[in-house]
Amino acid sequence: MDVDVIVVGAGPTGLMLAAELGLAGVSAVVVERLAARGGQSKALGLQPRTAEVLELRGLLGPLLDRAVQLVPGGHFAGLRLDFGAWDTPHPHMVGVPQARVEALLEARAAELGVRVLRGHELTALAQDDDGVTATAGPVRLRGRHLVGCDGGRSAVRELLGIPFPGLDGRLRMAVADITLTGPAPTSWSLPVMTPSAAGKGYLAPLGDGVHRFLFYGPEQQDLPRDAPVTPEEVSRALAVSFGPGVRLTGIRWASRFTDASRQVTRYRHGRVLLAGDAAHIHSPMGGQGLNLGLQDAFNLGWKLAAEVGGRAADGLLDTYHAERHPVAARVLANTRAQAVLLVPDEENLALRGIIEELLRVPEANKVVAGMISGLDIRYPLPGEPHPLLGRPLPGLELRDGRAVLLTATNRLRAAAAPWSARVNHTPTTRDLGAEAVLVRPDGYVCWTGSDAGSLTGALSRWVGRP
Ligand SMILES: Cc1cc2nc3c(=O)[nH]c(=O)nc-3n(C[C@H](O)[C@H](O)[C@H](O)COP(=O)(O)OP(=O)(O)OC[C@H]3O[C@@H](n4cnc5c(N)ncnc54)[C@H](O)[C@@H]3O)c2cc1C
């Protein structure tokens, strides 16, 4: 089978990429090892910046319909963060299980003509000057590019011998989706995970009588990663955190994870690219991994579409690594810091107390909230310095000639096909401090100004050959 792009892995990253490629009219196929979607969710939430990104493609509304809850604010190692200081229409976490995000993205990709071949495990991979050849299950595929979205134990990475440098985990934690009796929380709260030598747990309702239980304590530190999470272990951890009144009645799904953190040094290897957990792993503290993967895919999709369509300017595809590698490196750093703050020894607790005090200062809280939510992302784009350059176009209303009000978001959604970059000379309800802006298909401002010469340069860099 010949396609433009082979996507390996139908997790959230691969499916988001599939939807973006489908939107751009690229012929793509997703190969997935699992025969059917599992229905389990590692991640439970979307950060504000991801909500903004999904809104650009009209995907946020359906996810809000499937959300369990909007959680006001976020957290850093269990310390409260307030997103309200940032200019965003979504100053909250969207509490929606990962499986529902995947189902929506898969449906969108299918609508746009991208097929997911389930039960097709990638086992072989070779690239040459013209393309990539891959074996997945019984089929042999030929693509012009291949993107490894196949998770933390990526076969793409393994098959190409791409190193995955970083740190082994030090803190071992467990997660279990359980049913229970007793006075359990009926709504989500921020995980108050003040470390305790006896252990700590966080409980949140997922609906249909199921609760998510995240826990760690001395017992988990001594268990190997592949040891099954037993009912006895879960019951002991529930008792430590919630007392004897909360009792386990069943386990639907359980797993172990650590705070291991690793990142590839290059996201592009010739015609093969890596995205999501295949490119970076870290502890789930703060709820960032799924968000990173979705935004990797969002950054990559339109660039790859331009490349296979023969329109891309030289170097456009390499901006994927240049823009996204530093974003994930920053997440690795913040999750490493959070892991330290969760270790219950005297020195760490003293440090935690100081960080807690600092986070009561609004300016400090804003900095960390921007880091965790993705709202502080600014890509280092070339051009005349301007506060908007490299930043997402802020929410604003544009008045067209007939004084019809449209949000900037609606305009991008309507024009979400590739190369929808457009210059808006339209009066806005807010002063952007620029006569005109050029916005990339991923919603980032890539040029501001009024000078036709510099606009021509920006158009050829970002829009390429028409
Ligand atoms: C306990 C826990 C809680 C978390 N909570 C959050 C949270 O609240 N917020 C957040 O943002 N993130 C969270 N995360 C992280 C998040 O779940 C991951 O970052 C996310 O799943 C990464 O998506 P992905 O698509 O890159 O990889 P994956 O979800 O791992 O998907 C990879 C896919 O590739 C497939 N695959 C693997 N090998 C092959 C092969 N050889 N051939 C074909 N297919 C293959 C797999 O079957 C899988 O479907 C959490 C993680 C854990 C462990």
pLDDT of residue 436: 83
Q: How far apart are CA 460 and CA 466, in angstroms?
A: 9
If one counts the domains in the chain, the total is: 3
Phi-psi region of 79 (alpha: psi -120 to 50; beta: other; left: phi over 0): beta
380: in domain: no
Angle at alpha carbon of residue 22, lines to 21 and 23, rounded to 5°:
90
Task: Give mean pLDDT, residues 425-440.
Answer: 73
- In this predicted structure, the answer to whether residue 408 has a pLDDT above a threshold of 70 is no
- In this predicted structure, the answer to whether residue 259 has a pLDDT above a threshold of 60 is yes
Q: How far apart are CA 7 and CA 13, in angstroms?
A: 10
225: in domain: yes
pLDDT of residue 184: 77
Residues 153 and 105 in one domain: yes
Residue 407 — pLDDT band, cuts 50, 70, 90? low
Residues 359 and 447 in one domain: no
Residues 157 and 266 in one domain: yes
Residue 96 — pLDDT band, cuts 50, 70, 90? very high
CATH of the domain at 238: 3.30.70.2450
pLDDT of residue 426: 53
Nearest atom in ligand 1 to the alpha carbon of residue 278 is: 26
pLDDT of residue 139: 96
At 303-317, the pLDDT tens digits run 999 999 999 999 999
Residues 99 and 217 in one domain: no
Last residue of a domain, one of 234, 258, 282: 258
3-state secondary structure of 189: coil
Average pLDDT value for the chain:
90
Residues 97 and 158 in one domain: yes
392: in domain: no
At 316-361, the pLDDT tens digits run 999 999 999 999 999 999 999 999 998 888 888 899 999 999 999 9
> Percentage of residues in the chain with pLDDT exceeding 90?
70
pLDDT of residue 39: 83
Task: Give mean pLDDT, residues 280-305.
Answer: 96
Task: Give mean pLDDT, residues 251-280.
Answer: 97
Residues 447 and 435 in one domain: yes
404: in domain: yes
CATH of the domain at 325: 3.50.50.60
User: Ligand 1 centre from 154 Cα, in Å?
Assistant: 10
User: Ligand 1 centre from 334 Cα, in Å?
Assistant: 19
Residue 415 — pLDDT band, cuts 50, 70, 90? very low
Task: Give mean pLDDT, residues 232-258.
Answer: 93
pLDDT of residue 244: 87
- In this predicted structure, the answer to whether residue 135 has a pLDDT above a threshold of 90 is yes
Say if residues 91 and 373 touch (Cβ distance below 8 Å). Answer: no
Residues 404 and 456 in one domain: yes
Dihedral, 96, 51, 410, 13 alpha carbons, nearest 10 = -80
Residues 251 and 280 in one domain: no
Residues 286 and 302 in one domain: yes
At 216-233, the pLDDT tens digits run 999 999 999 899 999 999
CATH of the domain at 407: 3.40.30.120
User: Ligand 1 centre from 285 Cα, in Å?
Assistant: 15
- In this predicted structure, the answer to whether residue 178 has a pLDDT above a threshold of 80 is yes
User: Ligand 1 centre from 165 Cα, in Å?
Assistant: 19
Residue 190 — pLDDT band, cuts 50, 70, 90? low
Last residue of a domain, one of 373, 388, 423: 373
Residues 89 and 204 in one domain: no
Alpha helices in 259-387 (DSSP H): 289-308, 319-341, 346-358, 362-373
Last residue of a domain, one of 223, 258, 293: 258
Residues 89 and 178 in one domain: no
Q: Is the minimum distance from the CB of 169 to ligand 1 under 6 angstroms?
A: no
Nearest atom in ligand 1 to the alpha carbon of residue 155 is: 41
Residue 401 — pLDDT band, cuts 50, 70, 90? very low
Residues 144 and 280 in one domain: yes
- The domain of 449 spans 397-462
